[in-house]
Structure 1
Amino acid sequence: MGPSTSDRASGTAERAGALAAVSIALFCIQLDFFALNLAIPGIAADFHVTVSAAQWALSAYMLAIGCLFIVGGRLGDLLGRRPVLLAGIALFAAASVGCALAPSLGVLVVARIAQGVGAAFVFPVSVSVVTNVFPDATRARALGAVFALANVGTAVGPFVGGGFTDGPGWRWIFWLLAPLSAVALLLGLRYVPDSRDESAPRQVDLPGCLAVVAGLAALTLAVERGSAWGWDHTRTLALFAGAVVCGGLFVWRERTCRHPLVDFGLFRNVPFDLVTVMGAVSNMGYAVTVFLATLQLQQLRGLSALLAGTVFLAPALMVACTGPLGAWLSTRTRATSVMALAGAVAGTGMIGLSLVQAWWLYIPVFTWCALGLGLGWTFASVATQQVIAPARAGEASGVVLTALVVLGAIALAAVASAITALTPETGPEAAYDAILRTGGGVILGASVLAALVSRRLAARGLVPAPQRR
């Protein structure tokens, strides 16, 4: 006998509730990061510190989230996605209250680290929850819906951050996040079922966790603060050396451990490697483009934080649309081909931004650029689930997200150094344009290479064909 009508309705309600829980949680994470960028001057003024010091409110968050994606994703696979997801949401909500009440920059930075830890557990586990709750026929569409709502946070983040900073104050960003996170937690408690990698033993590779966290922490901190300290400063060089040592220890540990945190056999999956590389390149381009656009709008154009956030709405809304667009493309085109297409759009957009002179052309070109960049880094998570077995969804998602975040931070550090070197000779506008053209050329080159590799893989039957719905 097949399932009864009530069983089907119950299953549908559970899937819808789980989808809502993870979507709201990811919306909060995206809103948090993109809103606080424009609030840094307000935080500096409120605590009577320099903007460079206030930047730790962003750096601390990036440090925590970049270090723990792999750990969070694998813990979900081993210990159960439901408890790890709920713990992450609860921590993020509590830390949001801590950020709103922070009496000093030091307390705010600690609370931001706690937020980053919660987000690092939520993000990869959310993807694997959806992967394991939804059947093959609707999985891509469900992931597209999740990233559509999450990317709305990306879209409204600059507007919310600029509006609150110019209005009632930056603390209201966190007062908004706290109740929204609580809603996600309640939905998760009610609807998210548990799932895990049943083939793996219930043992966590603690030495591997320590090695990867220490290595990524050292690397992220070095690239985040290198331009401020100096790339040849003792602290910067010591952090890079520590990252190399910890990275070597991590590789050695994972190759010799019976139950590794990351099975390096994952990287023998060429489609997975291609998706990861193109997703990372797209996210690097996105981070660089948003950073340079913020400087252009506020420094060169003289716009306020609120007006700059308003200009970001159209491009960011386009990013939000890339979630369902990626789901639609996944049923018609191979995942690796979608990633190559995204790179082509992103590369031409970045180059176009460097050539635009008329102000009225800036927004549509920026929107076109956001389409490619957003599709590239958003679809990376959807594509990962197509080329990896569902049981290893958390592990694979953690690896991909780590690559996206850490390489995005490295790209921003490189851009900051390039601006410092180029501006005295060319002026800020020419420096920004040169960086955009270089970045666009790199993404276009990666897109061409990805298209060639994708075609070869498809000819050999190594890339899953799209499943039309």
Structure 2
Amino acid sequence: MRAGSPAARAGAFVAVALALFCVQLDFFALNLALPGIAEELGVTVSAAQWTLSSYMLAIGCFFVIGGRVGDVFGRRGTLLAGTALFTAGSVGCALAPGLGPLVAARIAQGVGAAFVFPVAVAVITNTFPERTRAKALGAVFGVANIGTALGPFVGGGFTEGPGWRWIFWLMVPLSLLSVLTALVYVPDSRDPSASRELDLLGCALLVSSLASLTLAVERGDAWGWNSTRVLVLFAVAVVAGGLFLVRERLARHPLIDLRLFRNVPYVLVTGMGSLSNMGYGVTVFLSTLYLQGVRGLSPLLAGTVFLAPALLVALSGPLGARLAPHMRPTAVMALAGACAGTGMYALTQVTAWWLYVPVFAWCGLGLGLGWTFSSVATQQIVAPARAGEASGVLLTFLVTLGAIALAGAAAGISAMTPQRSPEEAYDVILRLGGLVVLTAAVAVTAVRHRPGVRGGHGRRVDPAGAGRSAT
């Protein structure tokens, strides 16, 4: 299929949108299914939590690798391989006879998703012309965010109905359709300047560091933050991370060009997007506990309440695309942070349903715009040849810091109860999170007005931080 043709653009859009829809739906559907998984497999809910932890561990560790593999060896093949592995993992999850096989299949799903997400963004970037690229990315994330919106509802509904395994069976035909569409329509693209070599030592060090860090923060509350296991994992994360940075400075063909972090707009977008994703994860987590533990709603009813904010999360993708031609990426991110921060704080002040639901929806709009538009903005301020790498780095920050935020929220709840009621503990964490996001939005606004900080609106910034005209 000829790159840039109408058929290639339409096919790439369908393949990428379907793949991302499945990844997002899978990510957000399983939270409400944990009690059902634990009951059927005869394990504790704490043990069943590994189905979430293992997925997050795998996806966080391989984002950068997936993005760089696509840049170096071809994005079409990487997208196909990632989606196929995600599909196989979904079948494995649906058929898993016990917790061990289920966790293994979830790891396969996570690795597949880690290859799909950054490469999917790069496929759209390199298939659509610059004048329609932001609109296409916004529409893709709009479809993907429908998966985010439906996730809690599907998870709760299947758990109460035919069973949690149907969450994974639903993924299989949709993922297969994505594979077939990509096979026929998606053109190949890659970084023409990159050597056909992958920094394997850098990959190993990065995975070791991220895996140790993610595992430590995921299990720290259960194992004890002062336990030997957790302290050793943190030590491994620090040592491996330091060695990775040394390796990337010395390698002939590094996995990550560290000059990327001289690109100030990219750093601002990545920071604000990461905070938005952290806020989204914490808000969903605390609201789930509040709706079921304090309000006493069933998983299905709790999932129904989530439809309001999730709908605005889905709309945040197209909204970002509409804002992109008129505002610089950093300005959109600051606006998203202001909306998200006020929503998180206001959520702790209301209890009446007639006000709680719309405030929850406002919060979802700001947080959704923040972490969704960060991927769109990255493609506006980084050269297309390095789109996969930049997207992979961004997504690694989003997922890893999201895991740290969730662990911090869980630890905060444990520390504050039983001295305070659970509802009071939830409110304290949400208020603190809202203030952090608001402060970051103010900081982004201040920094983006400094001389020399530019990006977007016809100007592209390459990974080394040196701007050049996009035209």
TM-score (norm 1): 0.96
Tell whether 2:210 aligns with 1:203.
no
Cα distance in 2 between the residues matched to 1:456 and 1:187 = 45
Q: Counterpart of 1:13 in structure 2: which amino acid?
A: A
Cα distance in 2 between the residues matched to 1:328 and 1:172 = 36
Deviation at 1:461, TM superposition (A): 6.2
Give the aligned partner of residue 301 of structure 2. 307
How many equivalent pairs are there? 459
Tell whether 2:448 aligns with 1:448.
no
Deviation at 1:465, TM superposition (A): 2.5
Matches within 5 A, 1:42-57: 42-57=36-51
Contact (CA 8 Å) 1:151, 1:320: kept in 2 or not? yes
SS in 1 for 2:157: helix
Cα distance in 2 between the residues matched to 1:253 and 1:50 = 42
Give the aligned partner of residue 464 of structure 1. 456
Structure 1 residues 200-229: Cα deviation after superposition (integer angstroms, max 9, x where no partner): 110000000000011100000000000000
> Of 387, 412, 418, which residue of structure 1 is paired with 2:381?
387
Cα distance in 2 between the residues matched to 1:212 and 1:463 = 29
Change (3 A) 1:466 1:431: farther
Q: Counterpart of 2:103 in structure 1: which amino acid?
A: V
Give the aligned partner of residue 468 of structure 2. none
Q: Counterpart of 2:190 in structure 1: which amino acid?
A: R
> Of 5, 19, 24, which residue of structure 2 is paired with 1:25?
19
Structure 1 residues 144-178: Cα deviation after superposition (integer angstroms, max 9, x where no partner): 01100000000001000000000000000011001
> Of 306, 309, 318, which residue of structure 1 is paired with 2:312?
318
Cα distance in 2 between the residues matched to 1:132 and 1:463 = 19
Structure 1 residues 32-83: Cα deviation after superposition (integer angstroms, max 9, x where no partner): 0101111000000000100000000000000000000000000000000011
Cα distance in 1 between the residues matched to 2:134 and 2:212 = 36
RMSD of aligned C-alpha atoms? 1.3
Give the aligned partner of residue 3 of structure 1. none
Matches within 5 A, 1:16-415: 16-415=10-409
Cα distance in 1 between the residues matched to 2:453 and 2:220 = 44
Cα distance in 2 between the residues matched to 1:59 and 1:141 = 34
Cα distance in 2 between the residues matched to 1:120 and 1:436 = 29
Contact (CA 8 Å) 2:87, 2:171: kept in 1 or not? yes
Q: Counterpart of 1:463 in structure 2: which amino acid?
A: G
Q: Counterpart of 2:273 in structure 1: which amino acid?
A: G
Cα distance in 2 between the residues matched to 1:54 and 1:327 = 38
Cα distance in 2 between the residues matched to 1:56 and 1:275 = 31
SS in 2 for 1:456: coil
Cα distance in 2 between the residues matched to 1:445 and 1:258 = 39
Contact (CA 8 Å) 2:447, 2:453: kept in 1 or not? no
Change (3 A) 1:233 1:278: same
Deviation at 1:285, TM superposition (A): 0.4
Contact (CA 8 Å) 1:74, 1:398: kept in 2 or not? yes
Which structure shows the bigger proportion of residues in helix conformation? 1
SS in 1 for 2:107: helix
Contact (CA 8 Å) 1:334, 1:466: kept in 2 or not? no
Contact (CA 8 Å) 1:333, 1:466: kept in 2 or not? no
Cα distance in 2 between the residues matched to 1:412 and 1:54 = 16
Deviation at 1:360, TM superposition (A): 2.0
Contact (CA 8 Å) 1:331, 1:466: kept in 2 or not? no
Percent pairwise identity: 68
Deviation at 1:424, TM superposition (A): 1.3
Q: Counterpart of 1:413 in structure 2: which amino acid?
A: A
TM-score (norm 2): 0.96
Contact (CA 8 Å) 2:343, 2:434: kept in 1 or not? yes
Contact (CA 8 Å) 1:227, 1:413: kept in 2 or not? yes
Change (3 A) 1:156 1:87: same
Runs of 4+ in structure 1 deviating by more than 3 angstroms, as ranges, are: none
Structure 1 residues 252-288: Cα deviation after superposition (integer angstroms, max 9, x where no partner): 1000001000000000000000000000000000000
User: Runs of 5+ in structure 2 lacking a partner?
Assistant: 460-471
Contact (CA 8 Å) 2:265, 2:453: kept in 1 or not? no
Contact (CA 8 Å) 2:264, 2:453: kept in 1 or not? no
Cα distance in 1 between the residues matched to 2:361 and 2:410 = 23
Cα distance in 2 between the residues matched to 1:156 and 1:394 = 27
